[in-house]
Amino acid sequence: MAKSPAANRHIKTDKAALNFRQIPYAGEATSADLIALGYTDIASLKGANADEMYERTKALGRGSDRCILYMYRMICYYANTPNPDKEKLKWWAWKDKI
């Protein structure tokens, strides 16, 4: 028996969430936010803009904490960098410079 479209979406969402959990410090909430933004896996984040992601997250009512932006900056770095610097894989390394 074939799975319903809703069941297939659920499976794809679960796979995406597991894929995103490979990103340092990306937990359930971050994975859910990335899925809500339409990203399907780490490769789909290549070329993404952290500021745009943050604004879209706020528009969806999913949060406005500035730490989300810092996390998105790190995620974009992770997705676009073949051999990332371990120090740059800490979301707090991406805070705004005063």
CB 73 within 8 A of CB 50: yes
Q: In this structure, what token pair is assigned to residue 30?
A: 């971050």
- Mean pLDDT of the region 45-60: 98
Arithmetic mean of pLDDT over the chain: 90
> CA torsion, points 78, 24, 28, 52, in degrees to nearest 10?
-30
Q: How does pLDDT run across 30-46, given as a tens digit for each residue?
A: 999 999 999 999 999 99
Tell me how many domains the chain contains. 1
Q: How does pLDDT run across 85-97, given as a tens digit for each residue?
A: 999 999 999 999 8
User: If pLDDT is split at 50, 70 and 90, which confidence band does 7 have?
Assistant: very low
- What whole-number distance in Å separates Cα of residue 23 and Cα of residue 42? 8
Q: For the chain, how big is the Rg over CA atoms in Å?
A: 14
Of 63 and 46, the structure prediction assigns the larger pLDDT to 46
* pTM of the shown model: 0.85
Show the domain range for 34: 5-94
